[in-house]
Amino acid sequence: MPEKARTFKSIGKEKADLRKIGSDTKMLDTNSEDAISLLPEEVLGKILSLIPTKQAASTSVLSEKWRNLFTLVHNNDFDDSDLLRPEEGKEERDVVRESFRNFVDRTLALQCGSPIKKFSLKCHLHLDSEMSYVGPWISNAVGRGVLELDLSIHTRYKFVQDSETGCSRWPQGMKRRGDVFLPSELFTCKTLVTLRLGKHIFLGEFPLELSLPALKSLFIDSICFAYKDLSDVFFPGCPVLEELVLRYEDYHISSRTIKRLLVLYDDSACVFKSYMSLDAPNLLFLDYCHYPMSVYPHVNLASLVEARLDIQYSTNMDDVPDITGLIVGISNVKTLHLSPGSVDLIFRCVKYGLLGLKINRKVGLLLPVFNNLVSLSFGSKNETDWKLLPYLIEQSPKLESLTIQGLDSYTCDSTMHLFQVKVLRVLGYGGTAKESEHLKKFIGESECLEVVLVDDVM
């Protein structure tokens, strides 16, 4: 399942600044001692912040002026993965790891505690004792008022699958607290706006005094911590948290501040025996890119405006999971995107009566009414799943825009009654005779249909 790309407003401004720098440089006398060195120190500091930290640090050997300029660098990006490839010989790898540690130590020492905006650290730990190096680096960034912190710490330990629950847990008998012990000051940082935590590490219990008053965006990737600590300890300490991205299991999410939620996971063997509760009454946007949980006992998304469901049904699952709680919980959305996988799973639930509806209408209770739904995207890869669409349309009295994907698999005998739909958009339409025939059958004589948009780009 694809990761979602993210943009930052600052990128455009930085590119504009660099264009201006290039223009100003042309006006400098190139016959003088050094055209670049004549640029203002503030501009040079910004240039150094835009290039890899290793290259920026190397300029400090040019002269005393450049050594002082390095203190103006406000972005640090340390990654040992390139250094550790290829992994040939334990002794050589140990030397490389020590070299990396020395480089980080020297770089932070050169900056002399100057303010920092972003600190990114990606490293591999093979010994518990190596965490003694990482902790001070993180503390250094926190002490310098870091705004964005990206930590991806890979340990040599892998989560194992619990035989009873099917979910991941820390290896039996392995020390947990102390293996990856993040400094306590990280959880009381007053400047932190964005925090990314990963990967395959156990954090133990969050400190009860956790307080991140400026944190707006939180990304958690394959982190293990005490049960319910996320909702009971972490979220209450983040009063302005708005964006949450999770790659985790056994979800219990409760927050009154988050507005955007992205859920990612790719372990079908585990999640089917897990559950998810969502209590986020002010959530506006949900992106669920996941295998289905076994049950959704509590879903409160009262303010939800847009939802994207990309749920993948796995043949490894013994039974059809019950997603009733999730579907009912998102039924107040205005915009709904259903991938082919999601449509297939919903149809399976309908087929087996989990959503209270039988396709043959022997059960009177229908899908939940989508009273606010204005725009629906519906994808299908097989003939059978198209039978779900008429019921979705019927249960959406305000639906105006419909986007469909996979028209070549639509072979329903009867015309689709589009009721009040005004705009139809077809994705992946190649214009073949077969697709043209299916499109005519799909539209029929719908009088309310004002526009048909055909798009040959997937």
pLDDT tens digits, 21-59: 444 444 444 444 565 666 565 665 566 555 555 555 555
- pLDDT, residue 376, reads 97
- pLDDT, residue 32, reads 44
- pLDDT, residue 156, reads 64
Which residues make Cβ contacts (< 8 Å) with residue 364, sequence separation at least 6?
none
Structure-model confidence comparison of residues 100 and 192, the more confident one = 192
Share of the chain above pLDDT 70, in %: 65
Closest CA to 264 of 276, 254, 256, 255: 276
Mean pLDDT throughout 335-348? 93
- pLDDT, residue 78, reads 87
- pLDDT, residue 145, reads 95
Whether the predicted pLDDT of 375 surpasses 50: yes
Structure-model confidence comparison of residues 9 and 218, the more confident one = 218
Whether the predicted pLDDT of 188 surpasses 60: yes
Mean pLDDT throughout 276-303? 92
Taking all residues of the chain, what is their mean pLDDT, rounded to a whole number? 76
- pLDDT, residue 416, reads 74
The residue to which tokens 């710490």 are assigned = 153
Q: Which of 251-260, 361-370, 383-392 has the lowest mean pLDDT?
A: 361-370
Determine the Cα–Cα distance for residues 18 and 14; give it in Å rounded to an integer. 6
Share of the chain above pLDDT 90, in %: 29
Task: Evaluate whether 271 touches 246 at the Cβ level (below 8 Å).
Answer: no
Q: Which of 63-77, 153-167, 212-226 has the lowest mean pLDDT?
A: 153-167
* pLDDT band per the 50, 70, 90 thresholds, residue 430: confident
- pLDDT, residue 99, reads 82
Question: Hey, what's the torsion of the CAs at 210, 212, 216, 220, to 10 degrees?
Answer: -40
* Domain extent listing, the chain: 10-98
Q: Which of 92-96, 151-155, 337-341 has the lowest mean pLDDT?
A: 92-96
Confirm whether pTM is higher than 0.75: yes
Region at 337 (left for phi over 0; alpha for psi -120 to 50; beta for the rest):
beta
Task: Evaluate whether 388 touches 417 at the Cβ level (below 8 Å).
Answer: no
